[in-house]
Amino acid sequence: MDANAERVIARVFAVETPMPKAKSALQEYCSALVPDRAGDFAQALMDLGSAICTPKRPACGNCPWSDECRARKRGIQELLPVKAPKAARPLKRGAAFVVRDKSGAVLLVKRPEKGLLASMLQPPLGPWTETFPSAAGALKQAPFAAKWKKRPGIVRHGFTHFELEAQVYVAEVSKQWTTGSVDVRMSNYMCQAQQKWSITAVTNADGYPGSSYFKITIAGTGRALTTTAEGELITLPDFTGEPQQLWRLDQLTDGSWRIAHHQAGQLVARRQTSRRSRRPPSSRLN
Ligand code: SF4
């Protein structure tokens, strides 16, 4: 039954069961009315619903079923059919990171090509969960270390299937890298789409069976991933070829890649790759 026909039948028989649960009852009531010329009846019912028994202010005075209509007799015709209450949309919360430089330019990252808001630009976002991250937790989700300041208030956005609330952290940055060392956070930071690393084989640096050593730099810069004497990860302004800047890439049996410092064999990051790309990445990690 189309929506116009359902509305007429719901009113004529005063069916107060919410839709769509009432559909089977409406079908039964309607079937009991169908005469020999079923096609004409169906057309007439739909026309009655679209022209006279309209959703609001039905023209009951012009209706051929005015005397029989139970809803009209009870004065509840405009309340029928009853709509099911809308299900509450789940609420998700997270942190958004707005990065600006002195010229007013804002850092935007591109979302994945598939899924929600595919390929659209956005400020870097943390994961969406039931609660906001703590200030310390949010800083771990930030795209890089900076003087992040939480702005008062929250930003809300409604999606079809859920509501999103975001706390906004803002940082002012310079276009220039500092001349000294810069701390590097790895783990999930390494796997975020906006973080680009270039991985390049280093010639004349020996290697290990089956491969060479690699240098890892922040894409678009000469900054090289380096370990300190204390085992910390930093980037230095330039690749110097020192052993602390040489890395090895190993593919594990589950298809992921392990990046290890060539001296310590220390696991620092893993990058899940598809089984189609089983050769070592020659350029970008992300
Ligand atoms: S009497 Fe009014 S409410 Fe009842 S079927 Fe006719 S137009 Fe609809």
The pLDDT of residue 16:
96
The pLDDT of residue 176:
66
| Sequential DSSP letters for 62-120 | G-TTTTT-HHHHHT-GGG-SPBPPPPPPPEEEEEEEEEEETT--B--EEPPSSSTTTT-
180-286 CATH fold:
Trefoil (Acidic Fibroblast Growth Factor, subunit A) (2.80.10)
The terminus-to-terminus CA distance of the chain in angstroms comes to: 52
Q: Which of 4, 62, 69, 74 to mutate to test the pocket of ligand 1 (most atoms within 8 A of CB)?
A: 69
Q: Is the pLDDT reported for residue 286 higher than 50? A: no
233, 184 in Cβ contact below 8 A?
A: yes
* Shortest-distance atom of ligand 1 to CA 60: 2
- The rounded distance, in Å, linking the Cα atoms of 117 and 94 is 17
223, 182 in Cβ contact below 8 A?
A: yes
Mean pLDDT, the chain, integer = 83
Q: Is 49 helix (H, G, I), strand (E, B) or coil?
A: helix
CA nearest 246: which of 259, 256, 230?
Answer: 259
Give the count of beta carbons closer than 10 Å to the beta carbon of residue 217. 21
**Stretch 235-261: mean pLDDT:** 81
**Which residues lie with the beta carbon below 6 Å from any ligand 1 atom?**
8, 11-12, 52-53, 58, 60, 63, 65-66, 69, 71-72, 77
The pLDDT of residue 187:
53
- The rounded distance, in Å, linking the Cα atoms of 29 and 25 is 6
Candidate from 25-39, 57-71, 247-261 with smallest mean pLDDT: 247-261
200, 189 in Cβ contact below 8 A?
A: no
Question: Could you tell me the residue ranges of all domains in the chain?
Answer: 3-79, 87-176, 180-286
Class of domain 3-79: mainly alpha
Distance 77 CA to ligand 1 centre (A): 7
**Stretch 93-111: mean pLDDT:** 89
The pLDDT of residue 193:
52
The pLDDT of residue 192:
52
Output the residue whose Cα is nearest ligand 1's atom 2.
60
Q: Which of 30, 50, 66 to mutate to test the pocket of ligand 1 (most atoms within 8 A of CB)?
A: 66
Beta bridge partners of 164: 92, 157
The pLDDT of residue 267:
37
Output the residue whose Cα is nearest ligand 1's atom 1.
66
Q: Is the pLDDT reported for residue 52 higher than 60? A: yes
Whether pTM > 0.85 for this model: the answer is: no
CATH node for 87-176? 3.90.79.10
Q: For residue 4, give both structure tokens.
A: 């116009």
Q: Is the pLDDT reported for residue 179 higher than 80? A: no
The pLDDT of residue 265:
42
Identical fold between 87-176 and 180-286: no
pLDDT band (50, 70, 90) for residue 207: low
Q: Is the pLDDT reported for residue 95 higher than 60? A: yes
The pLDDT of residue 152:
94
pLDDT band (50, 70, 90) for residue 60: very high
